[in-house]
Amino acid sequence: MKFNSEYKKQIKELEETGETTEFAEKNAPMLLQAQTMLQKWEQNDPATIELWQTMNAWVYDGFADTYKKLGIHFDHTYYESDTYLLGKDIVSEGLEKGVFYKKEDGSIWVDLTSDGLDEKLVLRGDGTSVYITQDIGTALLKFNDFNCSKSIYVVGNEQDYHFKVLFLILQKMGFDWAKNCYHLSYGMVDLPSGKMKSREGTVVDADDLIAEMINAAKEKTEELGKTEGMSETEKENLYKILGLGALKFFMLKVDPQKRMLFNPEESIDFQGDTGPFVQYTNTRILSMLRVAKADDLLTDFVLSEIHDSEKNLIKTLLNYQTEVEKAAQTYSPAVIVHYVLDVAKAFNRVYNDVSFLREPDNDKRQFRLHIAQKTNEVIQSCLTMLGIQCPERM
């Protein structure tokens, strides 16, 4: 960030005049200017509010565009500007109760040293709020609005300490629902050296990564010759579905709490433990079922014997409910990813071992088509939970 680089530059300049680092950090001109603007914002200064609204519009428009590409939507959005006043009210209430204490400069703090944490600022001396002030207000609003049994905060692990403090403060304030707050802490994502560097060379923009994955899906799909007979519109839609599917699947394959290395080339492999592999398996089943329905091949059957690979597929399909419950209990989409991979692999073993449409025995053929249909239902359900689309053909 340009602000951060300029801020550090001003700190260094003050230090060179003989000032201490602590003084320089608190009195750098840019920081003082930012603090003044925050005060004006909380005082509803018209010029400051207008600038803030303009800049916010840029940010939210960008967010909306990225979320749309990823197929993400929100039922409700809470803005810090709507929650900080409630947070300040709760801090005032906590000060009266003795949960917080005030320092000589007028700032308000909470002492959590007896809980193995530290002292935490909850309101500045000039009366302006900090992040945790707003989070306190937002937490109360969420439980009041939705009466939820659980509130899960999906935020990176660099904020682990922040949420420990937040949840502890809420408990000390006497909110019974505080025990139902959970921080789903996820690890950071690294990229292979030299791959998809941003303009700054340090952080990759989400939109750039999405575009790169869609392009990779296009190159891989055309290389394998899987777009024959498709219109340009159908092709572009397929590239998007495959690219985003590969991205989400690979990201979600790793346990949320672990740091991971995202490899774009590996994620788009049609033969690996990837989204495209599962999507391709599903399209193979859909193609088979279309032929069967067109030829009126889906009828009742009486089964006397089944192949070992078919038994294994049935057992795997029967684990669906257990795996979904496990994913929910452990807050880990990775459970669903690995399960749907097992389903796809189990089906492909059956596909390699026996015939489906060309099976001469009617009962066996009907059984296999029905089990293929159930496999399709499970795969599509799992991918939907992961926010991944299933192409009709590829």
φ/ψ of 305, rounded to 5, equals -150, 150
Direct distance between the N- and C-terminal alpha carbons of the chain, in angstroms, rounded to an integer = 42
Instruction: Name the pLDDT band for 260 (thresholds 50, 70, 90).
Output: confident
Q: Is the pLDDT of residue 31 over 50?
A: yes
What region does 106 belong to: left with phi over 0, alpha with psi -120 to 50, or beta? left
Handedness of CA 152, 157, 163, 168 (dihedral sign): positive
Backbone CA torsion sign across 191, 328, 136, 83: positive
Q: What is the pLDDT of residue 5?
A: 85
pLDDT of residue 198: 40
Assess whether pLDDT exceeds 80 at residue 192. Answer: no
Tokens at 83, concatenated: 């929650």
SS3 296: coil
pLDDT at 379: 98
Higher-scoring residue by pLDDT: 379, 80: 379
Contact between 178 and 170 under an 8 Å Cβ cutoff? The reply is yes
| Angle 132-159-137 from CA coordinates, rounded to 5° | 25
**Confidence band for 199, pLDDT divided at 50, 70 and 90:** very low
Cα angle: 302, vertex 307, 313; to 5 degrees: 95
Give the fold, CATH level 3, of 206-385. Answer: Isoleucyl-tRNA Synthetase; Domain 1 (1.10.730)
| Tokens linked to 142 | 């969420």
- pLDDT for position 194: 44
Percent of the chain with pLDDT over 90: 63
Q: Is 204 helix (H, G, I), strand (E, B) or coil?
A: coil
- What mean pLDDT comes out for the span 74-85? 89
* Residue 371 clears pLDDT 50, i.e. is over it: yes
Higher pLDDT among residues 299 and 49, named by residue: 49
| Structural tokens at position 274 | 């990837």
> How confident is the model at residue 273, as a pLDDT?
93
Cα(357)–Cα(355) distance, integer angstroms: 6
- What value does the mean pLDDT of the chain take? 90
Q: What is the pLDDT of residue 305?
A: 80
Compute the average pLDDT of residues 266-273.
86
Rg (Cα) of the chain, in Å, rounded?
28
Arithmetic mean of pLDDT, 37-61: 90
Return the higher-pLDDT residue of 208 and 313.
313
pLDDT at 197: 40
Q: Is the pLDDT of residue 66 over 80?
A: yes
CA 18 to chain CA centroid, nearest Å: 46
The per-residue pLDDT for 196 is 40
The average pLDDT across 327-346 equals: 97
Average pLDDT rounded to a whole number, residues 120-125:
95
pLDDT-based confidence at 299, cuts 50/70/90? low
CATH topology of domain 75-186: Rossmann fold (3.40.50)
Helix axes 131-146, 80-97, angle to 10 degrees: 100
User: 10 Å Cβ neighbour count for 110?
Assistant: 23
**Count of CB atoms situated within 10 Å of the CB of 233:** 8
pLDDT mean over 330-338: 96
Domain spans of the chain, in order of start: 75-186, 206-385
Name which of 318, 340, 319, 329 is nearest 384 in CA terms: 340
Spatial distance between the Cα atoms of 13 and 19, rounded to a whole number of angstroms: 9
